[in-house]
Structure 1
Amino acid sequence: MIKFVYFFIYFLIFFISINFIKGIFPINLLNNNINNEKFLQTLEETSVASSEEAINNYLNSLKPPVEDTTEINSSNPNLSYAEYFSNTLFVGDSITEGFEEFGFIDSYNVICGKGDTILNGLEYISTIKNMNPKNIVLFYGLNDVIEFYSTDPAGWSFQVFKDKYLELVESLQSGLPNSNIYLISPLPITDTSSYQRNYRLTNENLNIFRNLVQEVALETNTTYIDLSSLALSNENLHTSDGIHFQYDFYPMMLDYLKNYIN
């Protein structure tokens, strides 16, 4: 009993000290709706060990919750494109390169090169796996129209393009089972451009490759995103070659991708 009295006096001094400090410093440790007198009365009816546990539980219950700020809230309208797509890796050709060149996406989140085809994509597999992104966006099919032109199954045919694309996607799915993969349609070109380009690069052939990309998405259960209508309704935003796009088209693409990518 004497031991309990000493303990009770100790707690009472501690309690008074806390309230004294509370009056000096702007803390909210004991600012709550619990009846302190009632709490003290319950201590008289318990053992010393139980009282210590009750005191600790009581004080812990008064601590403010810690806010978790480790993840970026993608619904925040004030996020930049680089912040929104910070967990997304863009892989593709020179059109993909524009995301980085125009400053919309960090260079770390873009793997591409001018003239890249699906064959280059296969070379990036180990790099992509090591980066382990949450989302992977693949832009292939434009330069592939030039590379895979033969209708001969023994050559670089349309079917070979599809097979290589399947190989890329399936390898990424095997190595990164938790990553989301998005396949972007090859974008249409403008026929009015006087720019001299490969005769195989036509909208007719691009339509064939667009369908092949969609087939790959269906067969691998990945997400196919067709940006053709967006490009066709903004033909004035093509560059002079009728293939690539100006600065203003990239925010449109990224806003469209937000409908699919969180």
Structure 2
Amino acid sequence: PEPTTTRVPALDFTQPVPESEEVEMDYFSDALFIGDSRTDGLRLYSGIQGADFYCYKGLTIFEVDERKIVELNGSTYSVVEALEKGPQYAKIYISLGVNELGYYNDDAYHQAFSEFLDTVKTLQPDAIIYLENLVPVNPQKCAEYKQPYYVNNDRVAAYNAIYPQLATEHQVALLDVASALSDENGILPADATADGVHFTKAWYQKWLAYLMNHTVSPEEYEAGQTAAEGA
């Protein structure tokens, strides 16, 4: 008889990554995180170990090829330069968008993010790319701490409508961090944030727990790419 082969399920890039069995911390030993001050908070306060971080306070999608924030071998590079000159990673997590909320040109944001995803896939061809959507803010805390007027959940929702399009267009894994870290009203709880935007230690830990329970195998990811290309 013919040997039976188990068919690997193809990842559906039109949907967020489903919950999976929790991984061990060493899952992040070949992972890179790209982001702004929220991602830096994940690095500092979540307890994550083993990962590399290309992140900086205020970083935007429009600066990833220009703003020099990554230290490598005694020199400072932009994120794009570091992706080219630095190590090759098995997983790359991307979380950007808070600092772009006041840009008010969603098409330009979509286009800039699209170009960046193309660049990441070209420079890091073996990586599973995880695209994280934008966690809402807490309106009362934002007002209390005088956050800019454009840092609001209407703008967050506008960008969160773009991420599924990007994931589908570029066949990257979408992570619905927004739902995981929001309350029943779809906002960041007041006790989860110090200033309306950034998280408390417990919420950074909750973010990490979500990442550890929502992973994709290289086989699923590759099968999804093949299926999408054949569609």
Counterpart in 2 of 1:142? 98
In structure 2, stretches of 5+ residues that fail to align are 1-20, 66-77, 218-231
243 and 170 in structure 1: CA distance in 2 versus 1, 3 angstrom threshold: same
Per-residue deviation, 1:204: 0.4
Distance 2:22 2:130 in 1: 23
Task: Indicate whether 1:239 and 2:193 are aligned.
Answer: yes
Q: What is the count of residue pairs matched by the alignment?
A: 177
How well do the aligned residues superpose, as a CA RMSD in angstroms? 2.1
Task: Indicate whether 1:132 and 2:75 are aligned.
Answer: no
Distance 1:117 1:144 in 2: 6
The one of 186, 203, 215 equivalent to 1:260 is 215
Q: Report the TM-score, using the length of structure 1 for normalisation.
A: 0.62
Task: Indicate whether 1:89 and 2:48 are aligned.
Answer: no
Task: Indicate whether 1:116 and 2:66 are aligned.
Answer: no
Counterpart in 1 of 2:117? 169
The letter for the 2-side match of 1:128 is L
Larger Cα Rg: Structure 1 or Structure 2?
Answer: 1
- Taking only the aligned residue pairs, the percentage that are identical comes to 24
Distance 1:227 1:243 in 2: 14
Q: Higher helix proportion, which one?
A: 1
Aligned 8 A contact 2:32 2:92 in 1: yes
Q: Higher strand proportion, which one?
A: 2
Per-residue deviation, 1:218: 1.1
240 and 255 in structure 1: CA distance in 2 versus 1, 3 angstrom threshold: closer
In structure 1, stretches of 5+ residues that fail to align are 1-74, 150-156
197 and 261 in structure 1: CA distance in 2 versus 1, 3 angstrom threshold: same
Distance 1:76 1:230 in 2: 15
Per-residue deviation, 1:103: 6.0
Distance 1:160 1:127 in 2: 24
Counterpart in 1 of 2:174? 224
Structure 2 SS opposite 1:242: coil
Per-residue deviation, 1:106: 4.7
Structure 1 SS opposite 2:92: strand
Task: Indicate whether 1:196 and 2:146 are aligned.
Answer: yes
Structure 1 SS opposite 2:147: coil
Distance 1:261 1:137 in 2: 12
218 and 252 in structure 1: CA distance in 2 versus 1, 3 angstrom threshold: same
Greater length-normalized contact order (CA 8 Å, ≥ 6 residues apart):
2
